[in-house]
């Protein structure tokens, strides 16, 4: 059944929910990229928790007016208004008081969430509230999602994604260098509000799928995952959107085949699995790649130190160094240099002397800045420059230059 769900063959409603969740995941991943780059990840947490009183108040108002209190558009409208008020409170506290942003976020998050819990308790005492199912907004629930609900989520995710694509350039500029953006005529405050507004839109739309407790994971985990794979903003946003969409697609499919499993946590766990794979396997920043580079660096250091020891007639006590020299055919088991080893060792010692001249001469200041004890001098200086240095120090016979 899982394959049927993944390939959209499990029925009309399941297909619609899966597509809607995937669109939400893509828009959350792309939007979260700019939140992450702007270092505003915690703001999304405040926005998500601030939606709860809005959902509860919207339900109460719709019931009092005689409408269906469980109407998703009405509940999402209440969530949007409430979370926007919460966002304004965070901005006001940060700008007008001495509170740091994280403290303001913590205060707004706890107060709004506590107020929402109180309202949910009140709703449970209402006749219409006993079957309201508003607790689904805490962790998400797609099992009882109606056709109209899925359409609202899909359309909301698509519209949010389109707005992010349209504003990606000024948002990227503000995320990396707000001072340069301001000097270029970009209204940084307005762009910041746009980023927060888009995060708010994703949060509100995703309440039914993931829930207000876990929606922050959909905004943050995909861009963190994408950061392992690229340094470019556009590519990062694209990879983040793919990761968010894939996690939501798989999570919704699993939830469709196992209704007892909550949708939101499954999506978050799938997203974390992609993060873990990236953490391990990414070609530049992954743990395996970092480990390989570190191992190669160690080998270069040991080889260089071993050659200098051979050139100076010093014994080699480090077994790893001796092993490397033996495998390269530069030393015997007893640590005595081979003919090739003698030539390589003399060259290494000669290069160290050359580097000393380079580092002491102001004319070679730019080249001296590249010295790290391992770099071949031929990659930094021209043959004529090396010949000039050799004339200063004298080139012994038989030493390769």
Mean of pLDDT values over 318-347 = 91
Q: Does residue 359 carry a pLDDT above 50?
A: yes
Q: Going by C-beta distance under 8 Å and a sequence separation of 6 or more, which residues neighbour residue 316?
A: 306, 309, 310, 322, 325, 331, 335
Q: What is the pLDDT of residue 67?
A: 78
With CA atoms as reference, report the closest residue to 119 among 107, 132, 103: 132
Q: Does residue 306 carry a pLDDT above 60?
A: yes
48-82 pLDDT per residue, tens = 888 889 988 988 888 888 877 777 788 888 888 99
Q: What is the pLDDT of residue 129?
A: 52
Q: What is the pLDDT of residue 231?
A: 87
Mean of pLDDT values over 18-45 = 86
Q: What mean pLDDT value characterizes the chain?
A: 85
- Which string of DSSP letters, residue by residue, matches 189-213? HHHHHHHHHHHHHHHHHTTTTT-TT
Mean of pLDDT values over 198-221 = 84
Confidence band of 223 (pLDDT split at 50, 70, 90) = very high
User: Element (H or E) spanning 286, and its range?
Assistant: none
With CA atoms as reference, report the closest residue to 150 among 204, 202, 208: 208
Mean of pLDDT values over 92-121 = 87
Q: Going by C-beta distance under 8 Å and a sequence separation of 6 or more, which residues neighbour residue 297?
A: none
Which one-letter DSSP state was computed for residue 370?
A: T
Domains, the chain: 2-282 (1.10.3470.10), 288-393 (no CATH)
Q: What is the pLDDT of residue 274?
A: 95
Confidence band of 399 (pLDDT split at 50, 70, 90) = very low
Q: What is the pLDDT of residue 363?
A: 86
Mean of pLDDT values over 23-33 = 89
Q: What is the pLDDT of residue 142?
A: 62
131-158 pLDDT per residue, tens = 456 666 776 666 556 677 777 777 888 8
Neighbouring CB atoms inside 10 A of 211's CB total 24
Q: Would you state the torsion angle of the CA atoms of residues 72, 74, 78, 83, taken in this order, to the nearest 10 degrees?
A: 50
Q: What is the pLDDT of residue 295?
A: 93
Neighbouring CB atoms inside 10 A of 321's CB total 21
Reported in sequence order, the residue ranges of 122-200 that DSSP labels E, i.e. its strands, are none
Say which residue, 44 or 320, is predicted with more confidence: 320
Q: Does residue 335 carry a pLDDT above 90?
A: no
- Tokens describing residue 390: 């050799």
Which CA distances in Å does 82 have to 86, 112, 306?
6, 9, 67
Q: Going by C-beta distance under 8 Å and a sequence separation of 6 or more, which residues neighbour residue 265?
A: 139, 140, 214
Q: What is the pLDDT of residue 400?
A: 45
Q: How far is CA 269 from the centre of its chain?
A: 16
Q: For residues 196 and 89, is the Cβ–Cβ distance under 8 A?
A: no
**% of residues, the chain, pLDDT over 70:** 92
Q: What is the pLDDT of residue 398?
A: 41
Q: For residues 139 and 109, is the Cβ–Cβ distance under 8 A?
A: no
Q: How far apart are CA 276 and CA 280, in angstroms?
A: 6
Angle between helices 72-96 and 101-124 (to 10 degrees): 150
Q: How far apart are CA 241 and CA 29, in angstroms?
A: 4
268-291 pLDDT per residue, tens = 999 999 999 999 999 989 999 999
117-131 pLDDT per residue, tens = 898 888 877 766 554
Enumerate the β-bridge partners of residue 371: none
Q: Does residue 266 carry a pLDDT above 80?
A: yes
> In terms of residues, how long is the chain?
401
């Amino acid at each position: 059944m899982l394959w049927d769900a993944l390939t959209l063959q499990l029925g009309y409603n399941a297909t619609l929910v899966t597509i809607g969740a995937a669109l939400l995941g893509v828009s959350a991943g792309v939007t979260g990229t700019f939140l992450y780059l702007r270092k505003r990840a915690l703001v999304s947490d405040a926005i998500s928790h601030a939606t709860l009183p809005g959902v509860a108040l919207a339900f109460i108002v719709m019931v009092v007016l005689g409408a269906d209190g469980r109407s998703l558009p009405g509940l999402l409208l209440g969530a949007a208004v409430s979370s926007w008020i919460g966002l304004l409170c965070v901005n006001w506290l940060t700008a007008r008081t001495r509170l740091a942003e994280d403290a303001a976020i913590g205060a707004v998050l706890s107060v709004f969430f506590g107020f929402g819990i109180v309202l949910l308790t009140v709703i449970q005492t209402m006749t219409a509230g006993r079957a309201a199912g508003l607790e689904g907004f805490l962790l998400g629930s797609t099992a009882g999602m109606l056709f109209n609900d899925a359409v609202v989520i899909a359309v909301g995710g698509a519209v949010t994604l389109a707005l992010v694509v349209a504003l990606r350039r000024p948002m990227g500029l503000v995320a990396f260098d707000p001072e340069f953006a301001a000097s270029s005529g970009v209204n940084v405050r307005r762009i910041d509000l746009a980023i927060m507004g888009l995060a708010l839109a994703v949060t509100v739309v995703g309440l039914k799928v993931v829930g207000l407790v876990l929606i922050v994971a959909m905004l943050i985990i995909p861009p963190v995952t994408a950061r392992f794979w690229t340094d470019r903003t556009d590519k990062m946003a694209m990879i983040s959107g793919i990761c968010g969409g894939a996690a939501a697609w798989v999570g919704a499919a699993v939830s469709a085949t196992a209704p007892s499993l909550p949708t939101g946590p499954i999506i978050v766990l799938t997203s974390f699995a992609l993060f873990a794979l990236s953490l391990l396997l990414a070609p530049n920043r992954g743990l395996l790649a970092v480990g390989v580079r570190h191992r190669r660096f160690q080998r270069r250091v040991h080889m260089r130190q071993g050659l200098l020891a051979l050139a100076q007639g010093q014994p080699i006590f480090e077994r790893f160094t001796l092993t490397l020299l033996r495998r390269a055919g530069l030393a015997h088991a007893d640590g005595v240099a081979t003919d090739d080893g003698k030539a390589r060792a003399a060259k290494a010692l000669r290069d160290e002397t050359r580097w000393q001249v380079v580092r002491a001469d102001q004319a070679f200041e730019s080249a001296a800045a590249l010295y790290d004890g391992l770099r071949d001098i031929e990659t930094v200086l021209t043959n004529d420059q090396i010949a000039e240095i050799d004339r200063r120090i004298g080139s012994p016979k038989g030493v390769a230059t």
